[in-house]
Amino acid sequence: MTVEQAVWAEKHRPSKLNEVIGQKEQVNRMKRWVNDDTMPHLLLHGPAGTGKTASAVAFAKEKYGDDWRQNLIQMNASDDRGIETVREDIKSKAMQSASGKYQFKILYLDESDSLTKDAQAALRRVMEQYSDQTRFILSCNYPSKLIDPIQSRCTPLPFRRLDDSEIEELLTRILEKEDVEYEESAVGKIVEYVQGDARRAVQTLQTSVEDGELTENIIQVVGGQVDDETVEEMISKCFNGQMDEAHEMVVTEILPNVTDYSRFTNTLMKKIQYSDELPRDVRFYAISQIGDLERNIMEGCNPHTQINSYLCQLQNARYASIPNYSDE
Ligand SMILES: Nc1ncnc2c1ncn2[C@@H]1O[C@H](COP(=O)(O)OP(=O)(O)OP(=O)(O)O)[C@@H](O)[C@H]1O
Ligand SMILES: [Mg+2]
């Protein structure tokens, strides 16, 4: 692979903790452990593409200098989720001493929430037994899937989606390094699309740049979404009693275009949350039901039925709104 073709998400991965954008509190805590061997086991958790792996790698580079590769062992729990993996692979790596003058090495276990409960129980023992030579950094999206004894053995570092301004900073930094001419409105489109996922931001940027230029016209934002205005229009129809039209939009606009339903429900939530058309009681009710909508779709229920049913609930809430309800 030539440098030009390199994957930007790798090429522009932060190599120092100071280059990690956002996540200030988490990064500051990690900085303290660069020269301090009292580092505990860590649990980095939060949404995909927010810098968990990138921060751990940057941390290892700062802590171990040229020896970082030997002292940061990266494993992925989702490759093999059972107890044997922990008893064999993970244990044998945890037993090894650090390379060079260091007291301990780091074992980074990605997707630790995909381990079975038995495997987690075995992991807990390995963490205890070999903590002198190995500190674990567990990484996951859903920490509640980890058993309590694992959670309580780790210092949690929650990673959050990046703010729009942070994504913008990341994109413009890369555009400048890559010497790309860009329209600010095009950067804004990507920021809006990725909703705080830095990895997706960098990937979208790379596929959108053509011949050293980024313009709004060439943004190849891949499918899986509808624009915010469509979602807004559907909600508005539903709240204004035009249910047939709202249901029609589900068939013609939403179902054919959305593949990422988590993103869709997120947009729906934001639009309702910030709507000034709706009284507060309706907004609260509508938002309270979005969790069920998302979970049902994620668990495999038919999105058509789920969204239609949700829209009916919205309309009912609108008409059942407390008479003379005031936001004051
Ligand atoms: N906070 C950040 N600052 C700068 N770049 C970032 C940040 N977060 C992510 N990136 C970019 O996105 C890429 C992917 O991020 P990373 O692998 O750290 O995500 P992650 O949080 O570990 O996601 P997952 O949960 O999928 O493992 C990085 O290589 C980097 O290019
Ligand atoms: Mg990761």
Residue ranges per structural domain of the chain:
3-158, 164-223, 228-327
Flag whether pLDDT at 217 surpasses 60: yes
**If you average pLDDT over residues 37-48, what whole number do you get?**
95
Domain 228-327 has CATH 1.20.272.10: yes
Cα 310 versus chain centre, distance: 25
> What's the mean pLDDT in 78-101?
88
Task: Please identify, by atom number, the ligand 1 atom nearest to the C-alpha of residue 47.
Answer: 25
For residue 149, report the distance from its CA to the centre of ligand 2, in Å.
Answer: 23
How far is Cα 254 from Cα 235, in angstroms, rounded to an integer? 12
Place of tokens 């930094």: 173
Q: Is the pLDDT of residue 269 over 70?
A: yes
Average of per-residue pLDDT values in the chain: 90
CA of 316 relative to ligand 2 center, distance in Å = 42
pLDDT in tens, 301-316: 999 999 999 999 988 8
Nearest C-alpha to atom 8 of ligand 1 is from which residue? 51
Q: What percent of the chain has pLDDT over 70?
A: 94
Ligand 1 atom with the shortest distance to the CA of 54:
18
Which of 27, 199, 203, 205 most suits a substitution to test ligand 1, by most atoms within 8 Å of the C-beta?
Answer: 199
Average pLDDT on 56-75 reads: 96
* pLDDT average, residue stretch 3-12: 81
CATH number belonging to domain 164-223: 1.10.8.60
pLDDT at position 233 over 50: yes
CB under 8 Å, gap of 24 or more: what pairs does 199-204 form?
A: 199/9, 199/48, 199/49, 200/49, 201/49, 201/162, 201/167, 201/170, 201/171, 202/8, 202/9, 202/12, 202/170, 202/171, 202/174, 203/8, 203/9
Nearest CA to ligand 1 atom 17: 53
Which ligand has its closest atom nearest to the C-alpha of 199? 1
CB 95 within 8 A of CB 129: no
pTM confidence score: 0.77
pLDDT band at 1 (very low <50, low <70, confident <90, very high): very low
Pocket-forming residues, ligand 1, beta carbon under 6 Å = 9-10, 12-14, 20-23, 48-54, 110, 141, 159, 162, 170, 198-199, 202
The pLDDT, as a whole number, for residue 325 is: 55
For the range 5-12, what are the long-range contacts, defined as Cβ-Cβ under 8 Å and sequence gap of 24 or more? 7/206, 8/174, 8/178, 8/202, 8/203, 8/205, 8/206, 9/199, 9/202, 9/203, 9/206, 12/173, 12/174, 12/177, 12/202
Percent of residues, the chain, with pLDDT higher than 90 = 71
Position in ligand 1 atom list of the atom nearest CA 140? 25
Nearest atom in ligand 1 to 22's CA: 1
Ligand sitting nearest the alpha carbon of 159? 1
- Nearest residue by C-alpha to atom 29 in ligand 1: 13
- Which atom of ligand 1 has the smallest separation from the CA of 10? 29
What is residue 327's predicted lDDT score, i.e. its pLDDT? Answer: 52
Name the residue with tokens 């009916």: 312
72 forms beta bridges with 106
Q: Which mutation among 10, 12, 13 tests ligand 1's pocket best, with the greatest number of atoms within 8 A of CB? A: 13
**Ligand 1 mutation pick, 24, 26, 53, 165, max ligand atoms within 8 A of CB:** 53
Cα-based angle 100, 66, 11 (whole degrees, multiple of 5): 145
Residue 323 has pLDDT above 70, yes or no: no
User: Which is the closest atom of ligand 1 to the Cα of 12?
Assistant: 31
Going by pLDDT thresholds of 50, 70 and 90, the confidence category of residue 229 is confident
Higher pLDDT, 250 or 328: 250
Q: Which CATH number fits domain 3-158: 3.40.50.300, 3.40.960.10, 3.40.640.10, 1.25.40.390?
A: 3.40.50.300
Distance CA 90, CA 132 (A): 15
Instruction: Look at residue 223 in the predicted model and tell me its pLDDT.
Output: 54
What confidence tier does 194 reach under pLDDT thresholds 50, 70, 90?
confident
